[in-house]
Chains A and B, each alone.
Chain A
Amino acid sequence: MNNRNEWPLWEVFVRSRNGLDHKHAGSVHAPDATLALQMARDVYTRRQEGVSIWVVPSDQITASDPGDKAAFFDPMEDKVYRHPTFYELPEEVNHM
């Protein structure tokens, strides 16, 4: 096993143009943050896909538990009143 010597994994987020959010693009292995950024640039923006890159050590991401999905997300299912389409307005103002 040579995993002790494997470079850490970084998650790469790319903003494709100003005005948009950073979006997860993939990951790279890199020894440190500076090289992670450079490698992310060379791997994920070869076709001008980005104007800004974030890299985050993968082990620093806290994720919700997929096994807990029902308890975590289903309660939002019946809150239909949060959505604008829930409200039927008179024709004249329906573009509101």
Chain B
Amino acid sequence: MTSTQPAGALCADHMRYVLRIADGSLILGQRLGEWCGHGPVLEEDIALTNVALDLIGQARLLLTHAGRLEDRGRDEDALAFLRDESEFLNPTLVELPNGDFAQSCLRTLFYAGWQQALWTPLLQSRDAELAAIAEKSRKETRYHCEHLSEWVVRLGDGTDESHARMQSALNYLYPYVTELFVPDEIDGAAVAAGIGPAVDTLRAAWDAALLPVLAEATLELPGATPFRSTGRQGRHSEFMGFLLAEMQSLARAHPGATW
């Protein structure tokens, strides 16, 4: 890592670039964990928990890496449990409530599709650790895309009720997708340093992977809106505060404790 680790402001940008990816996995893993024990059928309960476990695993590797880049002694748990809301840089999409099973499936697929588009260029990252995490995660994400695509198709093209639920999930979630592909100066710095791609370049791969699934699911893409979510800038939805209050409550109640 030392060979690719830039100094000063660049390092802060680098850390934030990694943190955004880490927080996406962490917060979505936290949300999917809520399904454990409450799935529509035992087999799927187990399957969704596998996805949650993969995401938490990714978050641990990425947060640990971000902490090392920052070099202020924060480990994965300090970053997960002791940061305030505005320091979390996940896209708003992943912090939204689970909603029903349709909404949970579609949201997970949307994010997994984005991750899948990201991991491939990250394999070429000059940040060797990040490239290694991408290599490991890409296999997991590919399976998440496959599994959730199967569900989106079945529910979209299932019964009238399931179709209506999936269509309304799409209507609700689609505006939050825009944020996934809006680049900013952190992306710019990552591109310049050869650390990773700017997010706007991921859209084509996302469209290519997901639009056919939505079509097969007989869903209609809602029209474009000027709505922009801003979680990646640290400005979150109202849901985020509650998610963090719950997630961090025990860790924060016992400062310095080891678990």
Contact = CB atoms under 8 A, between A and B. Distances in A.
Given a CB threshold of 8 Å, the question of whether A touches B is answered with yes
Contacts of A43: 43, 46
Interface string A51-72: 0000000000000000000000
Nearest to A7: B41
A38 B146 contact: yes
B150 A28 contact: no
Interface stretch (A17-25, A29-37, A73-81, A85-93): A29-37
Contact of B41 (A29, A34, A38, A46): A29
A26 to B, nearest CB: 11
B43 A29 contact: yes
B247 interface: no
A91 B9 CA distance: 81
Q: How large is the interface on A (under 10, 10 to 19, 20 to 34, 35 or more residues)?
A: 10 to 19
A38 B154 contact: no
9 contacts: A29-B41, A34-B150, A35-B150, A35-B154, A38-B47, A38-B147, A39-B47, A42-B43, A46-B50
Given A39-B44, A39-B46, A46-B46, 17 more contacts: A7-B41, A28-B43, A29-B41, A29-B43, A34-B150, A35-B150, A35-B154, A38-B146, A38-B150, A39-B43, A39-B47, A42-B43, A42-B46, A42-B47, A42-B50, A43-B43, A43-B46
Q: What are the 10 tightest A-B residue pairs by CB atom distance, in nearest-first order? A: A39-B43, A42-B47, A42-B46, A42-B50, A28-B43, A38-B147, A43-B46, A34-B150, A35-B150, A39-B47
